[in-house]
């Protein structure tokens, strides 16, 4: 058996106010006159964070539109624009949730790889290292800050650029940046982490490495979402570390059924990752009985709305498209159900699961 030799992020800084060190952290990576490019979640346009961002000389901030999850066409247009305007850049700094961080990773890679980002959707297709890249989460849960993928919707599939070149060179974990996330969004993205933990900890790929991180992340999520005193600042600190540890857990294992099903929803209906996972997980009691029960308690305690009947008006062709996308996520199904998963998860059974949503 060959064990995975996985590439991790380069440097990590954690702490309230750590964002203020960004200037000195990136200084040694400035190459001549080549600018640093900040891809900042559009939520922060005209917010205080922009004034704290160390924009020097010909550096540039792009406020990235994350109303849809990142598309390969968007990545390509950002990278082409940068190549035309500057030739080369010193680095790409992604500031935001999973979407802005994934855009930053993908644009960094496309600065040094020919063609379209759609050519690299898959495993280990990226040929050259990207430019220096930094990830700064402002929303906790996805684990995108630590992962070796950047999830993109392309012309034919929703699939990441999974490669050893994908992880960030540096991440800055500053829980202060997550202070003002609206409570529904904070829940949906936080539950992405919770679901990562449940899927990793109950999966057939589990080993002690994944388990150590997964259990820690799970306990942090429980602390945060079942906290008797409601939300306070310490929850932001905890959830940021839960996201990190949850990401580390799946690095050496895999996610499972909620993700496999929600990928189909996202491809067909554009349902965003966090909320999509919640909509699906809510109906997966037969696969994850304890996790789903606890999830429902968290939903209730935090007064969250989980949308219902989102598949009510779909056609057979729509269901078939979602089923195709979902069953394409083979490692996820294998992690959840074992090597003979195809016998267990027939198209008919999966269709019934989609009809529940
Ligand atoms: P997101 O990045 O799409 O952002 C959701 C919303 O929150 C946006 O409206 C954004 O503007 C807003 N927001 C972000 N920070 C905020 C703040 N501090 N205050 C107020 N609003 C803020 O959401 P997400 O759930 O973090 O990321 C989802 C994306 O991450 C999907 O595209 C998914 O595919 C991807 N993802 C990637 C990985 C990976 O390993 N690369 C893992 C899981 C998910
Ligand atoms: Zn996820």
Q: What is the pLDDT of residues 98-131, one digit of tens each?
A: 999 999 999 999 999 999 999 999 989 999 999 9
Round to whole Å and give the CA distance between 292 and 234.
Answer: 25
DSSP single-letter state for residue 111: T
Q: If DSSP codes are grouped into helix, strand and coil, which group holds residue 292?
A: helix
The pTM of this model reads: 0.96
Rounded to the nearest angstrom, the distance between the alpha carbon of 197 and the centre of ligand 2 is 10
Rounded to the nearest angstrom, the distance between the alpha carbon of 65 and the centre of ligand 1 is 11
DSSP bridge partners of 41: 64
Q: pLDDT (tens digit, 0 to 9) for every residue of the chain, 357 residues total?
A: 678 888 999 999 999 999 999 999 999 999 999 999 999 999 999 999 999 999 999 999 999 999 999 999 999 999 999 999 999 999 999 999 999 999 999 999 999 999 999 999 998 999 999 999 999 999 999 999 999 999 999 988 888 999 999 999 999 999 999 998 999 999 999 999 999 999 999 999 999 999 999 999 999 999 999 988 888 889 999 999 999 999 999 988 999 999 999 999 999 999 999 999 999 999 999 999 999 999 999 999 999 999 999 999 999 999 999 999 999 999 999 999 999 999 999 999 999 999 999
Ligand 1 neighbours (beta carbon < 6 A) = 41, 43, 66, 69-70, 96-100, 102, 138-139, 142-144, 147, 149-151, 177-178, 180-181, 185, 189, 192, 272-274
User: Span 11-178: which CATH code?
Assistant: 3.40.50.1970
Residue 39 parent element (H or E):
strand 36-41
Q: From the alpha carbon of 69, which atom of ligand 1 is closest?
A: 32
Domains 11-178 and 183-355 share a fold: no
Residue 344 parent element (H or E):
helix 341-344
Domain 183-355 belongs in CATH node 3.40.50.2020: no
Rounded to the nearest angstrom, the distance between the alpha carbon of 31 and the centre of ligand 2 is 35
Round to whole Å and give the CA distance between 344 and 357.
Answer: 20
Q: Which ligand is the nearest neighbour of the Cα of 144? A: 1
DSSP-derived secondary structure for 146-210 = T-S--EEE-SS-EEEEESTT-S-SEEEE-GGGGTT--HHHHHHHHHHHHHHHHHHHTSTT--HHH
In the chain, where the domains are located: 11-178, 183-355
Q: Which ligand is the nearest neighbour of the Cα of 141? A: 1
Rounded to the nearest angstrom, the distance between the alpha carbon of 101 and the centre of ligand 1 is 8
On whether the CB atoms of residues 179 and 237 are closer than 8 A, the answer is: no
């Amino acid at each position: 058996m060959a064990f995975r030799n996985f590439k991790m992020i380069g440097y990590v800084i954690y702490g309230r106010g750590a964002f203020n060190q960004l200037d000195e952290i990136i200084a040694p990576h400035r190459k001549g006159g080549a600018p640093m490019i900040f891809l900042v979640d559009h939520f922060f346009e005209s917010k205080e964070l922009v004034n704290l961002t160390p924009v020097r000389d010909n550096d540039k901030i792009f406020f990235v539109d994350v109303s849809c999850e990142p598309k390969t066409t968007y990545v390509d247009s950002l990278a082409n624009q940068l190549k035309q305007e500057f030739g080369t850049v010193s680095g790409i700094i992604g500031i935001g949730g999973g979407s802005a961080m994934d855009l930053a990773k993908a644009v960094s890679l496309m600065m040094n790889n020919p063609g379209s980002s759609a050519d690299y959707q898959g495993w280990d297709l990226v040929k050259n290292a990207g430019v220096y890249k930094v990830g700064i989460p402002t929303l906790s849960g996805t684990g995108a800050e630590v992962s070796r993928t950047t999830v993109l919707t392309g012309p034919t599939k929703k699939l990441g650029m999974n490669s050893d070149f994908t992880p960030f060179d540096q991440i800055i974990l500053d829980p202060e940046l997550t202070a003002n996330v609206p409570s529904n969004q904070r829940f949906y993205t936080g539950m992405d982490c919770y679901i990562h933990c449940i899927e990793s900890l109950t999966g057939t790929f589990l080993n002690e490495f994944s388990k150590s991180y997964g259990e820690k992340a799970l306990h942090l999520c429980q602390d945060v979402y079942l906290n008797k005193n409601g939300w306070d600042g310490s929850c932001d600190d905890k959830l940021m570390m839960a996201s990190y540890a949850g990401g580390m857990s799946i690095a050496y294992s895999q996610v499972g059924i909620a993700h496999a099903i929600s990928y189909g929803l996202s491809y067909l209906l554009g349902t965003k990752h966090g909320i999509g996972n919640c909509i699906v997980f809510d109906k997966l009691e037969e696969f994850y009985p304890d996790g789903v029960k606890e999830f429902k308690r968290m939903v209730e305690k935090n007064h969250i709305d989980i949308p219902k009947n989102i598949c009510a008006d779909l056609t057979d062709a729509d269901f078939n498209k979602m089923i195709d996308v979902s069953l394409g996520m083979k490692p996820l199904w294998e992690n959840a159900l074992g090597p003979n998963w195809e016998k267990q998860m027939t198209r008919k059974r999966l269709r019934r699961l989609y009809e529940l949503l």
